[in-house]
Structure 1
């Protein structure tokens, strides 16, 4: 280590890292000077052995002394600066203390001024209250209330508590006084307008009405801050927001009467007659709602306070009475199915009337709220299922189940079974569509879907019986019924009620899909993609039944045609006389039974099937006849020119007219027969050329050749077969 390093190490060891140790600098210098003197005495500069080394050491020591002096000077400057900073900080602390004291005094003064102001307003309010100056009382109270609202977030808990108590105290005092005044005015007005007072609403003096409106306005202004309003958080009470003071006082006489008649031992308080208290509430509402809208609502609108719908609050108060009464009765009737069902009906009718007649908003709760409670909802569902099953038993056991109902459109041929079943489903919807929660509505929807499927299964069980001729049984009526119910369900699926439930079900499936494994989630997503309405599943099953019944009817008709057609089809078509050999053509005698049977079947189908179904039926019937005559007559016989002409005459004069009653161009229904007759009646030369072209050309070219002679439905191979059934061609 060099000398400089040793010196630095020595200084660090002596003074360390604290600036306070620099005060020992004088002592350290004296110590070094003493050591220097000792060294100088020990060394002789006259020595000839080491003059250069000594000289170098002396120079190093001198440098160290010089550096020490510089460090000493710097340390003194630093100490001086530190002392000045400490002095400055002490002055700042003293100043801050003064500022804090001043601020505290100012806040205390403001606090006292605030208290004095509140006490002053309270004193003025008390004077106004004693002097019956209601307007001044309200103005002072509103000032106190607004002041409390402004300091609600303050950390001064005592001040906030003082203001809260003050506002609550004066609210109670003013409310007590105004309540007395209001009740006196209501007594003069003969409120409520019940019994002997029913006509009193039309006999009020203008002075009394003016006083009523003034006190009503004061009551509207007399409101507690939201934070002081005691809100119920348990039970059904939590679903009913507090109403304004005027409505509270207006409703009080009704509450008293309601308790007297329906919550005491009076004969009117009967569990088996819930319609009594529902009817009474609706009667009160009917007799007073117009007067409230006319006299109270304008006062509320003129207060410039938050929007208050007096009509809604009045209805809410009466609905709350019904809810509390209904809830208190439900447990005692839970095991009486008949009474429970009756009570549910009355509760639903009550709410429906509130909403339909008085436009009570859907966001407001009423009696259905009670029915949606879990213990009552499950019972309601069970009774709905039980009653629906019993009604379906009655529907199917009725002797008129498949009889057409008079009064509906004749073309629809609606049966009693269809009408009553849809009425059953609609009544269930009408009862549950006011439930506030979609999940609850979906439970009833699932019940409806179960009932529809049960209805379908019952029909299938009826169809297991053997019918020799479905057209002569009630199968057409069943088909009409299935068709009509399917159409109605399709229409229902597009309504808001069921579209909303479908959206809810889709969201529930998507939510479940996110929580399940991939394989099963894909299965759920298929349901989401395929289902457009909630009835798609049952509609698909009903449409399958519809197709089965339609096919059965058409197949049976075709079978009877086949039986009647055998003699006609076995005619010797290859030996019949031509046009030149007979004076005129007439219907082939053996064909008359078949054509008559075709006409009869069409007539019966027209009589027993709904118009839309019959339109589908005669088209399907014609299509099968077309194929049947082609297969069994045209492709199984040889035709000379007379036979071809006779067949064409029979078709045009007997087959087409039977269908001409339902369409202007019946020949379009029988393209295979029409085109085959054209080929059979074609001139021999043209027929030979056509046959040659069909046999030599490719299929696409052959189709074009057929199109040139107006043959569009027959394929080239089939056209060749028809041409070869001509005697003039097959005999060559």
Structure 2
């Protein structure tokens, strides 16, 4: 078994063990195995001897066959050489004959072409003769179809011109005859239809069969392509309607021209709703008939490019669009003569056109209406923007001139309307004004036009902010003069306007415009780059950290619009996916005063810009920030006005002898007499102002007032007074039991809120035990060097580290405790006062 691999050895051993078996006492099977292997050995040796004997004979026969094949190949080569010689000789002898035959075959082909050329003329003449004698419309249409097929086949040369002329000639004849028959039959079916007639008297079957045949004939004799290319088109129509639709539109065009052009009363240019309403009525009355009786004919003829209903509706819309274009142009000419208020008439026409477009979508279930293209022409669109701006500014002035603009929207309705009780009528009117403008321009198909209206909205919001700022300035002067200006209404108006704009900025409409504006700016920058810059599509990192695809130089404006829509949809999807988490957070803080608690916990920083920066305002980012600044300025002004009276009446409280008060038990303590009146007046004014403000604004106002009171009492009372034990207890009672609850949100535990942090920290310092106070005082007196000492090396260092006030102020408060005075003599302490 030498030379075998391990696997082969294992296989042989396994086979032998299997044949012998497990019984070592019975080895008879080994004899059988030995005899079988011996026979196989003999068989293999015999085969090997046989092969050795046959190899010499097979080798010699193979050599003989190879020699014979090589001789045969040589013979074939000699024959091929002789054959080539014979072929060359034959070609030389037959070359003159082949040349003569080529000439004759060429002449015969030319004669055949001439014969086919003459036959085509003869066929045209034959077809024309048959059509002159034929009286059957069906047969005429078939014959004309053959002529038109020949016209499409032969397009060049004199023959093409000849057949084209005949095609046009017979087309005009057939068109005139079939149109005449069609119009006569339309009178039978009482076209144009009326709604009542179509419902009450169904047409007979034979009448409709004839109408179907005539319609099929008209479809089959459609104008040749060169005629279609030269036909004039309407100002708003992209393609010409098919011949049957054109004939169906003729009586309606006549009626339209009769009623709405010329000097008739129904053609008044200040009443565009008349012809728009009539156009819509005709579409409603006739589109079902066209769909059920004309479109099936085109489908049977496999004219897939024909949409009969759309062609019919487009033809009627083109009439209205052409008349609208004329009316808008007439406003300038007649308005200059003093006969018509141009702006009012133009605004009325725009409103009626947009209303017509909305109703048309409902009726036709097709959003592609060419009526809007009249409004988006350059001159008309510029005038539209100017009129919108003019009337919006006038409306804004009327809003603020109205005495009711400061009243709540839900005034007199009751508490059922909830949050609407604080929204001023003026702010609601202004938001409605912006929404009305959006409803008018939202239907425009081009994002560039919608973007210009967005710029107009931003301009109006800025004008609204400027007017509110002017009112705020006037309110500040009136406050200083002792009046009662509508300051809460101004703050609520700014807050409500901003809240609505932030909500709109997250809608799909404004997100698309926002991204389109940003993408368009990138597109413009790409167009101004040098040609050496490679046109690759990268990404632009936005302010919020997300990446936005960059515009490639090869992208068109339509592709920019598509990319803007995709980005807007992705943003809406992202916000929708994050909505459940937001709703869960809102459920945890489901009361109105949750905002109060959050602001109260951060009372030391009442600036609201951080909160405003967290919101992505999109298209309204700039104006939203300005409105937030106006809102905060109004709140600051209101808080300052309320706190001035408190500061003026708190003088007696500041002059109290805190160093000489009698120590009283906590249960016997009550609010200081000098604080009772000012605090009650402050709470009354705060409650009155909070009721007039939005709940979030009321929370901000409480935060501002609390900060003012905290800072004023801390600086004027705590830092300027000496305190004995009785004074400390009284101040602590005033702060924790009276001042803190005064600024705490309703239904909340005031002790758990971080309100008036300076005063509460000062009270904690004043209430320290004598030993602790002395150790803290020693640690603070050593300054920052004590912070580098090891823990426990400086007594009172750990307790001093928990004080949040500045070290100098904390040390000053401790030194003003009478029990910590450096001079133990009470008489000396009294001399200080």
Specify the TM-score bucket, using the shorter chain as the normaliser: 0.7 to 0.9
Instruction: Find out whether 1:394 has 2:403 as its counterpart.
Output: no
The answer on whether the counterparts of 2:375 and 2:381 sit within 8 Å (CA) in structure 1 is yes
CA shift for structure 1 position 664 = 2.1
Spell out, residue by residue over 1:454-488, the C-alpha distance to the aligned partner (whole angstroms, 9 max, x if none). 33333333333312279942111111112222222
The partner residue of 1:596 within 656, 680, 684 is 680
Task: Tell which deviates more after alignment, 352-361 or 613-622.
Answer: 352-361
2:350 corresponding residue in structure 1: 344
The partner residue of 1:639 within 723, 727, 738 is 723
CA shift for structure 1 position 312 = 2.8
Q: Distance in 2 between matches of 1:119 and 1:712?
A: 116
1:380 corresponding residue in structure 2: 384
Quickly say closer, same or farther: Cα 1:167–1:569, change in 2 above 3 A: farther
Instruction: Find out whether 1:726 has 2:726 as its counterpart.
Output: no
Instruction: Find out whether 1:478 has 2:490 as its counterpart.
Output: yes
The partner residue of 1:130 within 135, 138, 151 is 135
Spell out, residue by residue over 1:63-99, the C-alpha distance to the aligned partner (whole angstroms, 9 max, x if none). xxxxxxxxxxxxxxxxxxxxxx999999998776556
The answer on whether the counterparts of 2:145 and 2:221 sit within 8 Å (CA) in structure 1 is yes
Q: Distance in 1 between matches of 2:126 and 2:819?
A: 128
2:433 corresponding residue in structure 1: 424
Q: Distance in 2 between matches of 1:176 and 1:161?
A: 22
Q: Distance in 2 between matches of 1:602 and 1:88?
A: 125
Spell out, residue by residue over 1:344-384, the C-alpha distance to the aligned partner (whole angstroms, 9 max, x if none). 3333332333235533423x411x33333344344434433
Q: Distance in 2 between matches of 1:376 and 1:486?
A: 32
Quickly say closer, same or farther: Cα 1:583–1:290, change in 2 above 3 A: same
Quickly say closer, same or farther: Cα 1:464–1:318, change in 2 above 3 A: same
1:67 corresponding residue in structure 2: none
The partner residue of 1:608 within 692, 709, 717 is 692
CA shift for structure 1 position 609 = 1.0
The partner residue of 2:266 within 262, 265, 268 is 268
CA shift for structure 1 position 138 = 5.7
2:246 corresponding residue in structure 1: 248
CA shift for structure 1 position 229 = 0.9
The partner residue of 1:558 within 643, 649, 655 is 643
1:411 corresponding residue in structure 2: 419
The answer on whether the counterparts of 1:216 and 1:299 sit within 8 Å (CA) in structure 2 is yes
Quickly say closer, same or farther: Cα 1:589–1:506, change in 2 above 3 A: same
Quickly say closer, same or farther: Cα 1:217–1:693, change in 2 above 3 A: farther
Task: Tell which deviates more after alignment, 414-423 or 710-719.
Answer: 710-719
Instruction: Find out whether 1:547 has 2:632 as its counterpart.
Output: yes
Tell me the SS of whatever aligns to 2:406: coil
Tell me the SS of whatever aligns to 1:575: coil
1:74 corresponding residue in structure 2: none
Task: Tell which deviates more after alignment, 410-419 or 373-382.
Answer: 373-382
CA shift for structure 1 position 217 = 4.8
The answer on whether the counterparts of 2:260 and 2:267 sit within 8 Å (CA) in structure 1 is yes
CA shift for structure 1 position 254 = 1.6
Quickly say closer, same or farther: Cα 1:719–1:248, change in 2 above 3 A: farther
Q: Distance in 1 between matches of 2:376 and 2:466?
A: 31
Tell me the SS of whatever aligns to 2:179: helix
Q: Distance in 1 between matches of 2:691 and 2:144?
A: 82
The answer on whether the counterparts of 1:679 and 1:723 sit within 8 Å (CA) in structure 2 is yes
Instruction: Find out whether 1:189 has 2:189 as its counterpart.
Output: yes
Spell out, residue by residue over 1:224-276, the C-alpha distance to the aligned partner (whole angstroms, 9 max, x if none). 45443145678x52644212333323322221211221224433222232222
1:35 corresponding residue in structure 2: none
Quickly say closer, same or farther: Cα 1:481–1:148, change in 2 above 3 A: farther
Tell me the SS of whatever aligns to 1:400: helix
Q: Distance in 2 between matches of 1:574 and 1:556?
A: 32
The answer on whether the counterparts of 1:385 and 1:447 sit within 8 Å (CA) in structure 2 is yes
Instruction: Find out whether 1:569 has 2:654 as its counterpart.
Output: yes
Gaps of 5+ in 1: 1-84, 519-525
The answer on whether the counterparts of 1:402 and 1:477 sit within 8 Å (CA) in structure 2 is yes
1:73 corresponding residue in structure 2: none
CA shift for structure 1 position 604 = 1.7
Quickly say closer, same or farther: Cα 1:601–1:112, change in 2 above 3 A: farther
Instruction: Find out whether 1:675 has 2:761 as its counterpart.
Output: yes
CA RMSD in angstroms, aligned pairs only: 4.2
CA shift for structure 1 position 105 = 4.2
Quickly say closer, same or farther: Cα 1:642–1:139, change in 2 above 3 A: farther
The partner residue of 2:773 within 687, 712, 727 is 687
The answer on whether the counterparts of 1:268 and 1:276 sit within 8 Å (CA) in structure 2 is yes
CA shift for structure 1 position 159 = 4.1
CA shift for structure 1 position 553 = 1.3
Q: Distance in 2 between matches of 1:688 and 1:143?
A: 120
Q: Distance in 1 between matches of 2:142 and 2:748?
A: 87
The answer on whether the counterparts of 1:240 and 1:320 sit within 8 Å (CA) in structure 2 is no
Quickly say closer, same or farther: Cα 1:304–1:670, change in 2 above 3 A: farther
CA shift for structure 1 position 123 = 7.5
Quickly say closer, same or farther: Cα 1:227–1:724, change in 2 above 3 A: farther
CA shift for structure 1 position 507 = 5.5
Q: Distance in 2 between matches of 1:117 and 1:471?
A: 103
2:370 corresponding residue in structure 1: 365
- Give the total of aligned pairs: 629
Q: Distance in 1 between matches of 2:245 and 2:813?
A: 92
Tell me the SS of whatever aligns to 1:669: coil
Quickly say closer, same or farther: Cα 1:686–1:708, change in 2 above 3 A: closer
1:194-205 equivalences in 2 (<5 Å)? 194=194, 198-200=197-199, 203-205=202-204
Spell out, residue by residue over 1:414-434, the C-alpha distance to the aligned partner (whole angstroms, 9 max, x if none). 223222323333333434444
1:202-221 equivalences in 2 (<5 Å)? 203-213=202-212, 215-221=214-220
1:77 corresponding residue in structure 2: none
Quickly say closer, same or farther: Cα 1:592–1:172, change in 2 above 3 A: same
Quickly say closer, same or farther: Cα 1:669–1:230, change in 2 above 3 A: same
Quickly say closer, same or farther: Cα 1:533–1:116, change in 2 above 3 A: farther
Quickly say closer, same or farther: Cα 1:298–1:619, change in 2 above 3 A: farther
The answer on whether the counterparts of 1:145 and 1:224 sit within 8 Å (CA) in structure 2 is no
Tell me the SS of whatever aligns to 2:265: coil
1:220-231 equivalences in 2 (<5 Å)? 220-230=219-229
The answer on whether the counterparts of 1:193 and 1:201 sit within 8 Å (CA) in structure 2 is no
Quickly say closer, same or farther: Cα 1:168–1:583, change in 2 above 3 A: same
Q: Distance in 2 between matches of 1:489 and 1:578?
A: 58
Q: Distance in 2 between matches of 1:253 and 1:591?
A: 91
Quickly say closer, same or farther: Cα 1:108–1:456, change in 2 above 3 A: same
Q: Distance in 1 between matches of 2:712 and 2:94?
A: 120
Q: Distance in 2 between matches of 1:111 and 1:556?
A: 105
Q: Distance in 2 between matches of 1:587 and 1:669?
A: 18
Quickly say closer, same or farther: Cα 1:701–1:720, change in 2 above 3 A: farther
Q: Distance in 2 between matches of 1:192 and 1:639?
A: 101
Q: Distance in 1 between matches of 2:205 and 2:251?
A: 23
